[in-house]
């Protein structure tokens, strides 16, 4: 069996969509295991740009795709994505876990109200209702996808939820929700999605036992996880390799490889400390050249130098077998490039990245400087990719080697552009 997990090793937006799409050509199934439509990933194929928030990146290759139980689903968003694929004559072979939880309109509203009440302490969420739906999941009264197929069960759950939530909304001057309106709307969603809903735990394990190639696609990044990320400035799900198991029902022993996706510099959306953040002209240039604006929100991303100390932490908690380095082309043209290799606090070097924001706000980054590489037009980067690893600039090779040595993990792919054809496979893990 081949079970491969792809994890963002930073703050999300590392280029997981492109790399999942690249590896999807080898896979039999592509699985999404956590998060919701707060995450966005972009895939470029033959000058066509596909932006997904819920569907796995393997969708456009006609692969079997699965949305696991760890994902939270906004049915309206999912149906829009399916309709978009239909426009391009793509009919995805989709299966949805009956145990995945469902985002309802009051989750989105409470997300907005809660962020407003938190004021300066707000985490800067996407206001898509992700946190509130996970809260209901943990509270054991959420609506699951399978419930959309059973009127009595859905009605009973909505009655309970609205009994609690409408009173709270009225306290904050918001209009209460109507149970009958919600019931009708979500039963209709259930009928539209019925053909996709199944027991994905059984299906996935049978596929792995039959030696199928299964690709598990993570959303967001390791440093945003609810348990092991920089709390509370993150997301509401487990974004690390362990989440692939709890979010699908696949045992850890069935995972054979874990791949970390690392952007050649750093970016993040939302609040919280970013130790290597660039607020100067270099930062602005990287943002514009790298098109660093959120796929989901459109918000400008904060950018900074590559923080290898943070990536090392991500590697420790995920045990990466290989690293994929993305957006190397974006740094083209810079004379000097910095890499953070450690943090100091009160003159003392820290042994591991702290995840407490009040500590991260006080640390000082330790940098090494490296020589930059030339800036090429897009078509020239494509030619470099065609020729392979031996054609990339020598200073870029040194940059890659420095990362490998520091992390003690091989760099298996160098990505030098957004398209599939701008991908250089350095080492084959499989």
Residue 415 has pLDDT above 80, yes or no: yes
Segment 280-294 mean pLDDT:
93
Residue 352 confidence (pLDDT):
98
- Average pLDDT over the chain reads 93
* Model confidence pLDDT, tens digit, residues 122-151: 666 678 899 999 999 999 999 999 999 999
Residue 294 confidence (pLDDT):
76
Residue 127 confidence (pLDDT):
81
CA distance 43 to 52: 8
Residue 121 confidence (pLDDT):
65
Residue 390 lies in a domain: yes
Quickly count: other Cβ atoms within 10 Å of residue 422's Cβ: 21
183 with 206, same domain?
no
Residue 430 lies in a domain: no
Residue 25 confidence (pLDDT):
87
Cβ-contact 332, 269 below 8 angstroms: no
Cβ-contact 51, 42 below 8 angstroms: yes
CA distance 340 to 145: 44
Catalytic position from the list 13, 111, 307, 329: 13
Segment 245-272 mean pLDDT:
96
166 with 267, same domain?
no
**Which of 23-32, 54-63, 196-205: highest mean pLDDT?**
196-205
Q: Which of 11-20, 237-246, 312-321 has the lowest mean pLDDT?
A: 11-20
Catalytic position from the list 21, 41, 111, 136: 41
Domain-terminating residue out of 195, 221, 247: 195
CA distance 262 to 399: 13
Q: What is the CATH number of the domain that holds 187?
A: 1.10.300.10
Residue 151 lies in a domain: yes
Strand partners, 114: none
Q: Is 13 a catalytic residue?
A: yes
251 with 345, same domain?
yes
Segment 232-255 mean pLDDT:
96
43 with 162, same domain?
no
Domain-terminating residue out of 195, 223, 258: 195
Residue 203 confidence (pLDDT):
97
247 with 354, same domain?
yes
Q: Which of 2-16, 51-65, 201-215 has the lowest mean pLDDT?
A: 51-65
Segment 282-310 mean pLDDT:
91
Residue 154 lies in a domain: yes
The number of residues in the chain equals 430
50 with 122, same domain?
no
CA distance 267 to 208: 35
Full domain range(s) for residue 187: 101-195
**Phi, psi (deg, nearest 5) at residue 99:** -95, 0
Q: What is the CATH number of the domain that holds 275?
A: 3.90.170.10
138 with 170, same domain?
yes
283 with 165, same domain?
no
* Model confidence pLDDT, tens digit, residues 8-33: 999 999 999 899 889 988 899 999 99
147 with 67, same domain?
no
Q: Is 41 a catalytic residue?
A: yes
SS3 track for the chain: CEEEEEEECCCCCCCHHHHHHHHHCCCCEEEECCECCCCCEEEEECCEEEEECCCCHHHHHCCEEEECCCEEECHHHHHHHHHHHHHCCCCCEEEEECCCEECCHHHHHHHHHHHHHHHHHCCCCCCCCHHHHHHHHHCCCCCEHHHHHCHHHHHHHHHHHHHHHHHHHHHCCCCCCCHHHHHHHHHHHHHHHHHHEECHHHHHHHHHHCCCEEEEECCCCHHHCCCCCCCCCCCCCCCCHHHHHHCCCCCHHHCCEEEEEEECCEEECCCCCCCCECCCHHHHHHHHHCCCECCCCCCECEEECEEHHHHHHHHHHHCCCEEEEECHHHHCCCCEEEEEEEEEECCEECCCCCCCHHHHCCCEEEEEEEECCCCCCHHHHHHHHHHCHHHCCHHHHHHHHHHHHHHCCCEEEEECCCEHHHEEECCCCC
Burial class (CB in 10 A: 0-12, 13-18, 19+), 11: buried
């Amino acid at each position: 069996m081949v079970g491969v997990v792809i994890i963002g090793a930073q703050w999300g937006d590392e280029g997981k969509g492109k790399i999942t799409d690249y590896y999807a050509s080898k896979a039999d199934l592509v699985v999404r295991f956590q998060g919701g439509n707060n995450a966005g990933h972009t895939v470029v194929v033959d000058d066509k740009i596909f932006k997904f928030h819920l569907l796995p990146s393997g969708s456009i290759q006609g692969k079997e795709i699965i949305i696991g139980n760890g994902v939270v689903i906004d049915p309206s968003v999912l149906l829009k994505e399916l309709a978009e694929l239909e426009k391009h004559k793509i009919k995805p072979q989709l299966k949805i876990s009956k145990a995945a939880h469902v985002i309802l309109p009051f989750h989105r509203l409470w997300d907005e109200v809660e962020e407003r009440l938190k004021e300066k302490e707000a985490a800067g969420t996407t206001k898509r209702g992700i946190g509130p739906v996970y809260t209901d999941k943990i509270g054991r009264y959420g609506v699951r996808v399978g419930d959309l197929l059973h009127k009595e069960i859905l009605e009973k759950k909505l009655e309970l939820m609205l009994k609690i939530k409408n009173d709270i909304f009225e306290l904050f001057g918001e209009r209460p929700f109507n149970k009958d309106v919600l019931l009708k709307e979500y039963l209709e969603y259930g009928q539209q999605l019925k053909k996709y809903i199944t027991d994905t735990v059984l299906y996935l394990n049978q596929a792995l036992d039959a030696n199928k190639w299964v690709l598990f696609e993570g959303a967001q990044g390791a440093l945003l996880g609810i348990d092991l990320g920089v709390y509370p400035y993150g997301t509401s799900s487990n974004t690390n390799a362990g989440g692939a198991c709890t979010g699908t029902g696949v045992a850890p022993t069935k995972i054979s490889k874990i791949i970390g996706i690392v952007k050649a510099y750093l970016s993040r959306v939302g609040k919280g400390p970013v130790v290597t953040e660039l607020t100067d002209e270099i930062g602005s240039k990287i943002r514009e050249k790298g098109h660093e604006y959120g796929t989901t929100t459109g918000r400008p991303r904060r950018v900074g130098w590559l923080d290898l100390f943070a990536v090392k932490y991500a590697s420790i908690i995920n045990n990466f077998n290989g690293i994929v380095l993305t957006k190397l082309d974006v740094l083209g043209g810079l004379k000097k490039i910095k890499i953070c290799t450690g943090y100091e606090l009160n003159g003392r070097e820290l042994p591991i990245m702290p995840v407490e924001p009040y500590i991260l706000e006080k640390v000082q980054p330790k940098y090494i400087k490296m020589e930059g590489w030339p800036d090429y037009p897009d078509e020239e980067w494509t030619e470099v990719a065609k020729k392979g690893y031996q054609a990339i600039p020598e200073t870029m090779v040194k940059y890659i080697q420095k990362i490998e040595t520091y992390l003690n993990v091989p760099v298996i792919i160098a990505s030098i552009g957004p398209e599939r054809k701008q991908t250089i496979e350095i080492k084959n893990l499989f």
